[in-house]
Amino acid sequence: MAVQRNLLDLTQPLMTEPLTALTDYAIALECLLFAAGLLGRGWVARVWAIAFGSVGGAAFLGGTLHGFAPQLVWEQRLWLWQGMVLTLAIASFCILVAVALSVPQRWRLGLLILAIAKLILVLRLDTSPWAFAISVADYLSALTLVLLVQLRQFVRQHQGSPKPRPSPDLAWMAAGFATSALAAIALLIPRRALPLSPLGVYHLVQMVALYCIYRSARAMGQVKRRDRTILQRSRRQSRSRWG
């Protein structure tokens, strides 16, 4: 009987959902590279690096769950699921913290309170059947706030300008948000209407979105350094003029 069971185990595939698992692992590697690329670029970039690391952790846990679920006991599958929801919630939290660090002081406390409230709400629903959908919505809502803050800053900086051009951080974030939303829509398409599984399509599109968001995060640091340089130069000119 034991020999027969071992033979049956050998006939089972190594991965039950290989495409979903491998694209999850690809996202994990991509996010690790993006997080490394943001280190050493200031506090806001470091928070973005933590956000990318959290997304990568969620992808790794999700890939393990999708790829090796039959070999895992129920408790292990639950831990992987809850860990995935937790790391996605941390990523959304870090995104809002990064936004809070880049806005005026009067808006900062409100954004931090919102980030904490969203984190607590998502974690309370981590065992719900809709937990992954809630996590995706939470992630998209954080990107929406980033986009709104960047758009407000762009409008304030270019008031009266005849032909304002979007800054790189705004353009890349708009592309990242649109692509992330497109990836979420792929989850709603019936399986038979797609050449791949909906999760596989979601992962592939999301990889493009993450690249756009990474470029936006890098551009934010460059814009802040440029603005700081301009401000310092203006102050030096004022001192020399009045000194």
Residue 8 has pLDDT above 60, yes or no: no
- Among 8-17, 65-74, 120-129, 203-212, the range scoring the smallest mean pLDDT is 8-17
Query: What's the pLDDT score for residue 25?
Result: 97
Domain layout of the chain by residue ranges? 17-156+167-222
Q: What is the mean pLDDT of the chain?
A: 83
Tokens coding 24? 């999850």
Tokens coding 223? 């814009």
Give the other-Cβ count within 10 Å of 13's Cβ. Answer: 9
d(CA 25, CA 35): 15
Q: Using an 8 Å Cβ cutoff, are 16 and 70 in contact?
A: yes
Q: For the segment 68-122, what is each residue's pLDDT rounded down to a tens digit?
A: 988 889 899 999 999 999 999 999 999 999 999 888 888 888 899 999 999 998 8
Q: Using an 8 Å Cβ cutoff, are 197 and 19 in contact?
A: yes
Q: Using an 8 Å Cβ cutoff, are 87 and 55 in contact?
A: yes
Q: For the segment 129-149, what is each residue's pLDDT rounded down to a tens digit?
A: 788 888 989 999 999 999 999
- Among 13-17, 78-82, 126-130, 178-182, the range scoring the smallest mean pLDDT is 13-17
- Alpha carbon distances (Å) from 180 to 5, 169, 175: 44, 16, 8
Q: What is the CATH class of 17-156+167-222?
A: mainly alpha
Mention every residue, 6+ apart, whose C-beta is less than 8 A from residue 234. Answer: none
Query: What's the pLDDT score for residue 115?
Result: 92
d(CA 94, CA 43): 12
Query: What's the pLDDT score for residue 12?
Result: 58
Sorting pLDDT into bands at 50, 70 and 90, what band is 231?
very low
Confidence (pTM) = 0.82
Residue 43 has pLDDT above 60, yes or no: yes
